[in-house]
Structure 1
């Protein structure tokens, strides 16, 4: 009996290595798949019948291929084991079908237990299918212990049915005493081995999928920074190197819709990057948008005599359903390009297409943000221009030389403005030049209205800051801080760095700001008599657009007099824009 079990277990092991068998076992079954399972496990039962051991009047016959039994003989075999496993894995329909197939065949062999053995086989199949279905409905797997318990119980049921239906009873009782315990134990042992094989196969598949998923996540994590740069020679070379390292491919290439951007690994001596696409296989994918698989050197369409590439899978890269390039994975042996590699390549192509779409979306967002910042900057130009022209127009009547000097200052100022309008960040020294030009204009017009003091830490002149964030603060202090003061107003500008942050502080000894206005300053446009109230709002919006939450503007004011506005911008140890903030700004 152990020998017969060994035959079935060997067949089970061989089947477990067949991918289609593994796929059928692990998922919900369609009608065609159920028919296949019925044939498979029914065949197990039929083979068990043919290879069973004939028992004749307490005598165990020599093992041979049985085609017919003596009317007074019985059969000891592993038939129930195959039917039970089929029912547990495939459900009542598979159990019934396999039971009928094996049971009818057993009945055709004859012997005094033919009816009882046939009925027990059919009942075993249906019962195993029912119990397996109920267990799955409860969300539980078919465990080895559960399967062994069901198998041994249904084998014991067969012994009971032999006692009930087989005649004469004395002969049936004698048969059960001889084969009962061995068959129950051996069929249980066979079920144990069979289930071990099935579960081991399924665990291997789970581990393989987990490893593949982990690899895909690694590839996604390592390639995303390069996809953010778009499809270019540098980024594609880095991506191809990562792919070559983490997959089974012998060569990896990426193209756009016209040129090979990168090719690493086998064949890189003649599949040279930064050249026009040379293979018809790639052109076909670009034109049709479908995955192409080549299993021979001829199918790759590479005409280089010594090309080592003999198999390839080429996949389209898409952005918004438009083909923008291809991903190509090459193999030096066609056997390496199996279904797993094809599925992996298809998954990576979809992943890369998604990453390219995200990169494009980030680029568009950055362009929109840049446009918004430029628009905010443009609003400041007329605001200052009108004030300056009014000042010069007054001086033209009283002092032409001063007016001429102010026009030169205004020219210098707007030269700096033109440079600033083309850049999101300028050196601090350029912003200070603009402030000096502005204050010269204002002090010429109102010589006794205010005085200004600078206090700047050395070494900060080259620090990059957004243009037009200091001059509007000085302008606000002059216009709103002391509009009708009999005494000279004082404006103090302090610029320093501290704890990896760059600080600009503008304070005055003016009249202060009312509490009801303080609540909205910098958060929205606040109407005013002398302008459109956009200065502080513009500065806050530009700081937010460039630095996200890393920079901020704060306002402190007292009703009895004095206002202080502080701007804080992050720096690194070298006194330049912090790298973390750069990544936020650049996308």
Structure 2
């Protein structure tokens, strides 16, 4: 009995080896992931049917409770039986594929066994079908969960299926006593062999899938890390500096011999082997890159000649070239080189295809962000341009009126106007200016207004120390002061005070302009800064434009806030702290 157990383990080992080989074939692993499809079921029946064929023809002939022959054979004597691993292959097929596959493999195995002959050969057709059915029904539980039975379940079910076969031999055989003797002789070795074999088969499946999941997890982590680290460089545009940094990261994480990035005409970066002649700013030298730029398709080569580099000492022996695209057009290439051609495998090909999509998306997003920023800057410049004529014409009218009355004062006002517009032109070229320059504009504007209306307006500046170099949008404070002068006091000639306050609170700058005027009507208050509000002395477009600029630059949190009562109005704005070094 012990010798038979050893022989059965040998036969089971052959099936296990074949299972291990099978689980390392990607096509078979894909089949296991689609077990419910009819085409997959047919293919699995064929595969496990071949296993059953091998199991039958590598069995051990048993006659008169003795091992008669332990070599492969096809025919049995009329009073012999066969100990084999047929139940192992049928049971595993049912556990993996369900009752249809289990019964199909059982029928194939039973028919083969029937034609091998021996005593009561028909019994094994029936037992094979029952084993396939029972194991398949149990396997449905795992299939519905898109999983596989556990190893412990395999050990139990494997033993149980062999017990089913032993019961069939006892109940269906024509010679009961011979059946009892046969079961006593082969029962325990075959139950143990089938149990161990089924458990090992399932453990191979489980460990292979776990290893694949772990590999995918590691690869996914590496790809995410790669995408995260290269994102700032690809999104900042394709230039030598950004592409060199991106190439260094790619070579480090993917561990290839060299990485090169090109635009449509020249090499932008080359890191690693062959960097002595594949140098930035040089025209593209390889025919391979030119072909990818022309076709827009990934190319893979495995020889120095196919790369197409003319340098005699070039160490590069294999390469995969990825087209980098933006809005459907090829704008450059990413090349991964290998000094050992055997290192370029199917895995690298799949990785390259994924990276092509990621990097192309990053480049396209960078271009979209650039276009959006240009559009935003153009809108801000347009809003700033709308402010300048508004103040300019008011000042010219004031100077024109003073020329006849007080030419010296008109002269001083022209100098102030010159100073104001010099700063104004500088401010129009940028989205932010230092607070110090903004205050000079406010001072020039205030003097121009006070020259026109002596003693009518008073202005107080409450500026926190150390904030002269903070950055804020040009004309911001000047517009708020001008708005107060024009609208807050109506026709009141005395005691008109405007207070400008600038403080730093945590990481924000709080700017407020407060007046002691008559306040704003409630029906107008909610519209200010959001739309043009007509009045006797203007349209309110200056506040609307300023509010749009603030939101464009800093988001909704920087919008103007209005508080008003019969005692006056305060306009508050909070912008992020940003110094000249920013």
CA drift at 1:274: 2.1
Is 1:515 matched with 2:518? no
- 3-state SS in 1 of match to 2:162: helix
Q: Structure 1 residues 27 and 269, CA, compared in 2 at 3 Å: closer, same or farther?
A: farther
The equivalent residue for 2:3 is none
Distance 1:375 1:12 in 2: 72
The equivalent residue for 2:204 is 197
Is 1:571 matched with 2:582? no
- 3-state SS in 2 of match to 1:258: coil
The equivalent residue for 1:337 is 344
Deviating above 4 A after TM superposition, structure 1's stretches of 4 or more consecutive aligned residues are 29-36
The equivalent residue for 1:542 is 549
CA drift at 1:321: 0.7
Compare 156-165 and 238-247 and name the one that shifted more: 156-165
Is 1:417 matched with 2:424? yes
Is 1:554 matched with 2:561? yes
**Residues 393-434 of structure 1, C-alpha deviations (whole Å, 9 max, x = no match):** 222332333333323322332222222111111122222222
Distance 2:194 2:35 in 1: 27
Is 1:57 matched with 2:57? no
CA drift at 1:576: 4.1
CA drift at 1:148: 3.4
Compare 116-125 and 67-76 and name the one that shifted more: 116-125
CA drift at 1:32: 5.9
Compare 354-363 and 83-92 and name the one that shifted more: 83-92
Distance 1:516 1:486 in 2: 26
Distance 1:30 1:280 in 2: 45
Compare 95-104 and 445-454 and name the one that shifted more: 95-104
- 1:357 corresponds, among 344, 361, 364, to 364
Output aligned runs, 1:236-247, within 5 Å. Answer: 236-247=243-254
CA drift at 1:462: 2.8
Compare 57-66 and 105-114 and name the one that shifted more: 57-66
TM-score by length of 2: 0.93
- 3-state SS in 2 of match to 1:557: strand
- Unaligned 5+ segments in structure 1 are 580-587
Kept after mapping to 1: 8 A contact 2:60/2:70: yes
The equivalent residue for 2:4 is none
**Residues 424-474 of structure 1, C-alpha deviations (whole Å, 9 max, x = no match):** 111222222222222222112111311223343444333222101011111
Output aligned runs, 1:100-499, within 5 Å. Answer: 100-499=107-506
**Residues 239-271 of structure 1, C-alpha deviations (whole Å, 9 max, x = no match):** 111111111322111111111111112222221
Q: Structure 1 residues 354 and 385, CA, compared in 2 at 3 Å: closer, same or farther?
A: same
CA drift at 1:566: 3.0
CA drift at 1:113: 3.1
- 3-state SS in 1 of match to 2:560: strand
- 1:87 corresponds, among 78, 81, 94, to 94
Kept after mapping to 1: 8 A contact 2:34/2:40: no
CA drift at 1:30: 5.8
CA drift at 1:158: 1.6
- 3-state SS in 1 of match to 2:203: helix
The equivalent residue for 2:15 is 8
Kept after mapping to 2: 8 A contact 1:26/1:202: no
Equivalent pairs counted in the alignment come to 575
- 3-state SS in 1 of match to 2:519: coil
- 3-state SS in 2 of match to 1:407: helix
The equivalent residue for 1:583 is none
The equivalent residue for 1:584 is none
Distance 1:557 1:138 in 2: 66
Kept after mapping to 2: 8 A contact 1:383/1:531: no
Compare 405-414 and 70-79 and name the one that shifted more: 405-414
CA drift at 1:140: 4.9
Distance 2:403 2:275 in 1: 73
Distance 2:65 2:574 in 1: 100
- 3-state SS in 1 of match to 2:469: coil
Distance 1:105 1:499 in 2: 85
Distance 2:34 2:154 in 1: 18
Kept after mapping to 2: 8 A contact 1:144/1:192: yes
Kept after mapping to 1: 8 A contact 2:35/2:41: no
Query: RMSD of the TM alignment (CA)?
Result: 2.2
Distance 1:526 1:292 in 2: 62
CA drift at 1:339: 0.9
CA drift at 1:499: 3.1
- Unaligned 5+ segments in structure 2 are 1-7
- 3-state SS in 2 of match to 1:341: helix
